[in-house]
Structure 1
């Protein structure tokens, strides 16, 4: 079905024009979607997770908020395709269930795009921040995220959701899931990295425990206090280590027990060096949480242990597709709480208080999403 046979849906979304507005005062407004291109799809949004990148954007952390009509974010989208252009990617058809993550487009011309690693493109278009499209009829149009009724964008970034996966549970995988799946997959959790540590048991950390366990790794959950121990063990961790304030002393007591650490915590200053004793020779410390202050690490421990410190940037469409298939095949089920999208302001207030255990999912009940 092409654009010639499908009427335009009503595009409207929940947004803010002022950083003070996001916390309890977001409003629903109509918006103009990007100009149609023949590789685009329209998606009726059923579910959309809430992620800290969304709230950071609404706070103004990524720059001024859009005022035409408002900053509409949301980048953990699952919905149903309602319109397909003449040149769809992924074999998409009307009625198909798809997921859309942080990225809604890339330039398509650079070497990283040609290598199908679009998450490294230097001209990305995002769903967690209203940013311009750079190509086709839509060049100059602003992106809109998933706190909305409908999403329009290039079909390359709309990933089919496997039939065995709960659609609501798939939503937070589109960012929270792929953020940790990528480094776990890249560094060989369960194969090369038999023993994996997860630092920080929050929204990302809970996904990391679930995926690392499903990959066959022995998982050690690492947190400052004992408060998340019961949850971490239920999620699949074999061991729980509460470091307290003396991380280095705790790490030395567990010296050489881990092949890989995925750090999901994002404190003001990340004390990477204090975690290094956990690692065996040739171990890797990979971080996905962004700490404001620079990371300072002396070269000695890295050289002596042949250790590596790495970051990880979400994942490309192909990586998201692999993650969704893996989650369906291994019955990975995130811990979520659903909120009616019409109560987005209540959800934001609760999110801001740190209530989620461990991901919030907005449900578009008006579109047929199920609470």
Structure 2
């Protein structure tokens, strides 16, 4: 018998100052129940940079009150009658997306291809969005989460809940462009930014069998960590004056996780071999990124990429379980979420914080 006497409570951002550690714990009204939904009792929720961007209305005005968190893992405690692949007691996770047009209006081309994160009708975020039934979406800095079952992913037995949580957004945001661009034997891959996202890039590119994995960051202080993660080379751009010349035309694929318009974009492009590809996954608050045409005139490709689809998350989990990939995480009690987001903003995470309910 499904338990239904629980309350939806969590850390709510009430205005842009909430990103400074001023979230308030309170009850909220979840998505109106549909028989395609699953309720999850949350055990873990990763802290993502997107949470901070949203809390401070960095990308666009947030819809306050807002409960962030889109790296959710827990146990299914209520399962709709139209759900066929999840049962009460299953361990499941939710990433950055919680709805698309699939199963509602007939698939758009993207959803039909299994690329729901590019749905042509409406991509609905796990928080700060509006579901097709008009309900507001709330995230995982909370006790419970309600989500359409299509976006609830079973967690394989070989992966701990704490490790799985940050993979649901951070991990798949790197896995998706790496897979799409053929990361594997024969490829030399660069990951720009060794943070919560970038460290997944190093771990995954190595596990996917790239010939060479190069971690690129500003300071040399992360060099030892990068090599332990599996990087073959570390480039510290602030501490190596000739880095752009020394490593020119050395990489087939670059994934950039940096969320700033101040990055040396032209120099990064110069690291690509002819016909190479650079994928931008970091999204700056200050505006767009622009590159002159001339540096691209070697058949270079510039792409961007957004999170990952449910099928890509499942693929990633298979790889993680097979290769025994362990993200670098620190578990923090949910009660300390306000301090954790401040520490995250200050760059103290090494390399991903995961909130844990008691």
- TM-score, shorter chain, exceeding 0.5: yes
Which of 318, 335, 352 in structure 2 is aligned with 1:359? Answer: 352
Instruction: Provide TM-score, normalisation by structure 1.
Output: 0.90
Name the residue aligned to 2:124.
125
**Given the alignment of the two structures, is residue 251 of structure 1 paired with residue 217 of structure 2, yes or no?**
no
Name the residue aligned to 1:88.
83
Which of 288, 299, 315 in structure 2 is aligned with 1:306? Answer: 299
Q: Secondary structure at the match of 1:227?
A: helix
Distance 2:21 2:238 in 1: 34
Contact 1:16-1:65 at 8 Å conserved across structures: no
State the Cα distance separating 1:270 from its structure 2 match.
Answer: 3.5
Pair 329,276 (structure 1): closer, same or farther in 2 beyond 3 Å: same
Name the residue aligned to 1:36.
33
Name the residue aligned to 2:66.
71
Contact 2:220-2:239 at 8 Å conserved across structures: no
Distance 1:267 1:336 in 2: 24
Name the residue aligned to 1:115.
113
Which of 227, 241, 244 in structure 2 is aligned with 1:233? Answer: 227
State the Cα distance separating 1:227 from its structure 2 match.
Answer: 1.3
State the Cα distance separating 1:158 from its structure 2 match.
Answer: 0.4
How many residue pairs end up in the alignment? 351
State the Cα distance separating 1:357 from its structure 2 match.
Answer: 0.5
Which sits farther off after the overlay, 203-212 or 108-117? 108-117
Name the residue aligned to 2:99.
105
Contact 1:78-1:167 at 8 Å conserved across structures: yes
Distance 2:177 2:304 in 1: 8
Q: Secondary structure at the match of 2:4?
A: coil
Pair 298,347 (structure 1): closer, same or farther in 2 beyond 3 Å: closer
Contact 1:46-1:78 at 8 Å conserved across structures: yes
Name the residue aligned to 2:11.
14
Q: CA offsets, 1:32-72, max 9 Å, x none?
A: 111111111011100001111111111122444444xx211
State the Cα distance separating 1:157 from its structure 2 match.
Answer: 0.2
Which of 145, 148, 151 in structure 1 is aligned with 2:142? Answer: 148
Q: CA offsets, 1:238-274, max 9 Å, x none?
A: 1111222887x42221122211111111223343221
Distance 1:144 1:224 in 2: 35
Contact 1:15-1:27 at 8 Å conserved across structures: yes
Instruction: Provide TM-score, normalisation by structure 2.
Output: 0.93
Distance 1:59 1:296 in 2: 25
Which sits farther off after the overlay, 309-318 or 341-350? 341-350
Name the residue aligned to 1:53.
50
> Which consecutive unaligned segments of at least 5 residues does structure 2 have?
none
Contact 1:269-1:295 at 8 Å conserved across structures: no
Q: Secondary structure at the match of 1:362?
A: strand
Q: Secondary structure at the match of 2:258?
A: coil
Q: CA offsets, 1:285-338, max 9 Å, x none?
A: 1111123343332333323x2211111111111111111111111111111111
